[in-house]
Amino acid sequence: MIYLLPINLLVKIKGLMKKIFSVNDALRWAGRHLSINNIPDPAMDAEYLLAHVIGCQRKDLLIHPEKIISESEMNRVREFVERRRKREPVQYITGEVEFRGLIFRVNKDVLIPRPETELLVEEVINSVKEKSESKGGRDVTILDLCTGSGCIAISIAKELPYIRVYAVDVSEKALDKAIENAERFGVGDRVIFSQGDLYEAIEHMGLDGEIDIIVSNPPYVSEKDMEQLQPEIKDYEPAQSLYGGENGLDYYRRIIEDAACYLSNNGLLIMELGFGQADNVKDLLEQAGVFSNIEIKKDLAGIDRIIKAQ
């Protein structure tokens, strides 16, 4: 004999059969799936992805591991883990990255800001303070070449409310994201974005001899190194923001060549360096015949990371 159960009881039974996930369950599931796919730092990535899905900070996951997450949230975690399994960077999956305490929006049109680039911003800010004092408080003008997400220009403008920054990129899509970030942080009136190939973007602005500091984190990956990049970089980040020519020096050479046309008297050129490029870039600066007081500064790992010339 067949017994038919009431519909409402069937619904209840079906509900009981659903897997209920806590924060801890979700972290273990995500970490395990990332680990078996040989993803670097699987536990940390799992935390970043889950925190983004449920809208909290990573520390909150550890404080409330018993918190129940919804079925739709768990489905989103599964989607994110699948994307990360394919080596898509966490920053592109979540659409954001922290840089000098600010949360920047990023996508595949812009290079993901790195922690070492924060040192570049720090060097510029210190130099701006020195120049402002020497100029009797007059505003300092900065040019950011290859701005990408705008993280350098925007961070400087955010921390120094009395300066104006011109930010340039050849990619219209990158500038769209940079403008979005500038408006997000309330500095859209002091960061002037312009599309073009390096100095071509500002040649109509009458800035010859008016720029106090030129800053740049240019594409500097050599042809050989491009082939050896991690999948997260090689397969997802924009190649035009990475590739610096056969030996990685093409952009340095072009930036240095025309910098003197735009720099003011005693103006500064400050650039981020790729691994092992310090001596070559220093040689380019010396060969230009217009720079002095060339300094090379190391990052926290002891790698030559910043070059500065007057």
Please write the tens of the pLDDT for every residue from 246-299: 999 999 999 999 999 999 999 999 999 999 999 999 999 999 999 999 999 999
Q: What tokens were used for 74? A: 């768990």
What pTM did the predictor assign? 0.88
Q: Which CA distances in Å does 4 have to 9, 16, 149? A: 10, 19, 61
- Provide the pLDDT for residue 186: 96
Burial 238-250 (b: 16+ CB within 10 A, else e): beebbbbbeebbb
- Provide the pLDDT for residue 1: 42
CA distance 45 to 36: 13
The mean pLDDT value for 22-38 works out to 93
The four Cα atoms 168, 172, 176, 177 give a dihedral, to 10 degrees, of -70
- Provide the pLDDT for residue 161: 87
Higher pLDDT, 200 or 65: 200
When the candidates are 3.40.1280.10, 3.30.1130.10, 1.10.8.10, 3.40.309.10, the CATH number that belongs to 7-86 is: 1.10.8.10
CA distance 91 to 88: 8
10 phi and psi angles, rounded to 5 deg:
-60, -40
- pLDDT tens digits for 121-174? 999 999 998 876 665 446 889 999 999 999 999 999 999 988 899 999 999 999
Closest CA to 120 of 297, 278, 309, 302: 297
pLDDT above 80 (res 68): yes
Parse the chain into domains and list their residue ranges.
Answer: 7-86, 107-309
CA distance 143 to 191: 10
Residue percentage of the chain with pLDDT more than 70 = 92
Single-letter amino acid, residue 22? S
The Cβ of residue 30 has, within 10 Å, a number of other Cβ atoms equal to: 25
CA distance 51 to 59: 9
CA distance 182 to 280: 34
pLDDT above 80 (res 7): no
Domains 7-86 and 107-309 agree in fold: no
- Which is the CATH superfamily of the domain at 107-309? Vaccinia Virus protein VP39 (3.40.50.150)
pLDDT above 80 (res 85): yes
Closest CA to 240 of 286, 187, 176, 197: 197
- Provide the pLDDT for residue 130: 82
265 phi and psi angles, rounded to 5 deg:
-60, 130
pLDDT above 70 (res 243): yes
- Provide the pLDDT for residue 135: 55
pLDDT above 70 (res 13): no
Distance of CA 254 to the CA centre of its chain: 23
pLDDT above 60 (res 244): yes
pLDDT above 50 (res 235): yes
The mean pLDDT value for 8-22 works out to 56
The Cβ of residue 237 has, within 10 Å, a number of other Cβ atoms equal to: 21
Q: What tokens were used for 89? A: 């960077």
